[in-house]
Chains A and B, each alone.
Chain A
Amino acid sequence: MLYAILCYDSEAVTTSMSKQEDDALMGRLAAVQQKLAQRGKLGPVARLMPTKAATTLRKGLEALVVDGPFAETKEQLLGFYIVDCDSRDEAVSVARDLAAAATHGTGAYEIRPLMTFKPGPGVQ
Chain B
Amino acid sequence: MREAAWIDAALTAARPQAVGALLRYFRDLDTAEEAFQEACLRALKKWSEKGLPRDPTAWLIFVGRNAALDEARRRSKQQALPSDDVISDLEDAESAVVEGLDSGRYRDDVLRLLFICCHPELLANQQIALALRIVSGLSVKEIARAFLITEKAMEQRITRAKKRIAEANVPYEAPDAAERTQRLTTVAAMIYLLFNEGYSATGGTVHVRVPLCEEAIRLARLLLMLFPAETEIMGLTALVLLQHARTPARLDANNAIVLLQDQDRSLWNREMIAEGIALVKKALSARKPGPYQVQAAIAAVHAEAERAEDTDWAEIDQLYAVLQTLQPSPVVSLNRAVAVAKLHGPDAALAMIEPLGEQLTSYFHFYGVKGALLRELGRVEDAREAFERALALANTAAEADHIKMQIDQLPKQGKASAA
Compute the total of residue contacts between A and B using a CB distance below 8 Å: 69
B residues in contact with A11, CB < 8 Å: 225
A43-64, CB < 8 A from B:
49-50, 52-53, 55
Chain B nearest CB: distance from A102 CB in Å?
8
A residues in contact with B278, CB < 8 Å: 49, 53
Residue from A12, A49, A68, A104 in contact with B2 in the complex, judged by beta carbons closer than 8 Å: A104
Count the A residues whose beta carbon is within 8 Å of the partner chain — how many? 24
Q: What string of 1s and 0s marks CB contacts (under 8 Å) between B1-24 and chain A?
A: 011011101101110000000000
> B279 contacts A104, CB within 8 Å?
no
With A68-B228, A105-B51 already in contact, the answer to whether A15 and B221 are too (CB < 8 A) is: yes
Give the distance in Å from the alpha carbon of A10 to the alpha carbon of B234 in the complex: 20
> B3 contacts A104, CB within 8 Å?
yes
The answer, yes or no, to whether B237 is at the interface (CB within 8 Å) is yes
> B274 contacts A55, CB within 8 Å?
no
Give the distance in Å from the alpha carbon of A53 to the alpha carbon of B277 in the complex: 10
B residues in contact with A19, CB < 8 Å: 214
The answer, yes or no, to whether A13 is at the interface (CB within 8 Å) is yes
A residues in contact with B12, CB < 8 Å: 16
With A21-B5, A103-B3 already in contact, the answer to whether A13 and B234 are too (CB < 8 A) is: no
Residue from A14, A52, A105, A106 in contact with B224 in the complex, judged by beta carbons closer than 8 Å: A52
> B274 contacts A12, CB within 8 Å?
no
B221-252, CB < 8 A from A:
221-222, 224-225, 228-229, 234, 237
Give the distance in Å from the alpha carbon of A98 to the alpha carbon of B221 in the complex: 27
> A74 contacts B55, CB within 8 Å?
yes
Residue from B3, B9, B234 in contact with A52 in the complex, judged by beta carbons closer than 8 Å: B234
B residues in contact with A16, CB < 8 Å: 9-10, 12-13, 218
The answer, yes or no, to whether A115 is at the interface (CB within 8 Å) is no
The answer, yes or no, to whether A86 is at the interface (CB within 8 Å) is no
B residues in contact with A97, CB < 8 Å: none
B50-75, CB < 8 A from A:
51-52, 54-55
With A74-B55, A104-B52, A105-B52 already in contact, the answer to whether A17 and B279 are too (CB < 8 A) is: no
B188-229, CB < 8 A from A:
214, 218, 221-222, 224-225, 228-229
> B2 contacts A103, CB within 8 Å?
yes
> A105 contacts B3, CB within 8 Å?
yes
Chain A nearest CB: distance from B78 CB in Å?
39
Chain A nearest CB: distance from B193 CB in Å?
21
> B225 contacts A52, CB within 8 Å?
yes
Q: Is the interface of A mostly helix, strand, loop or mixed?
A: loop
With A104-B3, A106-B52 already in contact, the answer to whether A12 and B275 are too (CB < 8 A) is: no
A residues in contact with B225, CB < 8 Å: 11-12, 52
Give the distance in Å from the alpha carbon of A43 to the alpha carbon of B224 in the complex: 33
The answer, yes or no, to whether B145 is at the interface (CB within 8 Å) is no
A residues in contact with B270, CB < 8 Å: none
B residues in contact with A14, CB < 8 Å: 9
The answer, yes or no, to whether B282 is at the interface (CB within 8 Å) is yes
Residue from B3, B54, B282 in contact with A55 in the complex, judged by beta carbons closer than 8 Å: B282
B242-266, CB < 8 A from A:
none
Closest residue of B by beta carbon distance from A17: B9
> B228 contacts A10, CB within 8 Å?
no
The answer, yes or no, to whether A90 is at the interface (CB within 8 Å) is no
> A67 contacts B224, CB within 8 Å?
no
> B6 contacts A13, CB within 8 Å?
yes
Residue from A12, A18, A24, A67 in contact with B13 in the complex, judged by beta carbons closer than 8 Å: A12
> A21 contacts B9, CB within 8 Å?
yes
Give the distance in Å from the alpha carbon of A105 to the alpha carbon of B10 in the complex: 12
24 A-B contacts (beta carbon < 8 Å): A10-B13, A12-B222, A13-B9, A13-B10, A13-B13, A15-B221, A16-B9, A16-B13, A18-B214, A24-B2, A52-B237, A52-B279, A53-B278, A67-B228, A67-B229, A67-B282, A74-B55, A104-B7, A104-B52, A105-B3, A105-B51, A106-B6, A106-B10, A106-B51
Supplied contacts A15-B218, A18-B214, A104-B6, 11 more A-B pairs, CB within 8 Å: A11-B225, A12-B222, A16-B13, A21-B5, A24-B2, A49-B275, A52-B224, A103-B3, A104-B2, A104-B5, A104-B52
Interface residues of B (CB under 8 A from A): 2-3, 5-7, 9-10, 12-14, 51-52, 54-55, 214, 218, 221-222, 224-225, 228-229, 234, 237, 274-275, 278-279, 282
Lowest 10 A-B CB distances belong to which pairs?
A104-B6, A16-B13, A12-B13, A103-B2, A53-B278, A16-B9, A16-B12, A17-B9, A13-B13, A105-B51
